[in-house]
Homo-oligomer: A and B are copies of this chain.
């Protein structure tokens, strides 16, 4: 059943953390990896699971993969992203990630070259 795959997206802490971060806006894989503080292959695999479950859209841009929530989410996804929003206050780990995200984004905007080559600087602004 297709619906089971969709629910798998919400049955793993890393995936929930990724969704929580993407609720604030798109991020590329390397920034996700850095914010989450977990090995890059792990992030990549969970992203694939999210994509397979219809909870993620990715766009390749040179060597960067931009991750964002689907432009037209399914009703199921939409309902549960809303739940996730409401649960932020209760889950300390979600709040910490959001603060880490804020710091990371600030650093990127201050000194884009540290993180991104010139070609995708504008994209970075789009991201953050």
- What is the interface size of chain A, counting residues whose CB is below 8 A from a CB of the partner? 20
Within 8 A of B (CB), among A48-94: 75-76, 79-80, 82-83, 86-87, 91, 93
Determine the chain B residues whose CB is within 8 A of the CB of A80 once the complex forms. 76, 79-80
Copies of this chain present = 2
CB distance from A80 to the nearest CB of B (A): 7
Please encode chain A, from 1 to 42, with 1 for each CB lying within 8 Å of some chain B CB and 0 for all others. 101100110111100100000000000000000000000000
CB distance from A98 to the nearest CB of B (A): 16
Chain B residue nearest in CB terms to A15? B4
CB pair A86 B91 closer than 8 Å = no
Report the separation of the CA atoms of residues A10 and B1 in the bound assembly, to the nearest whole angstrom.
Answer: 11
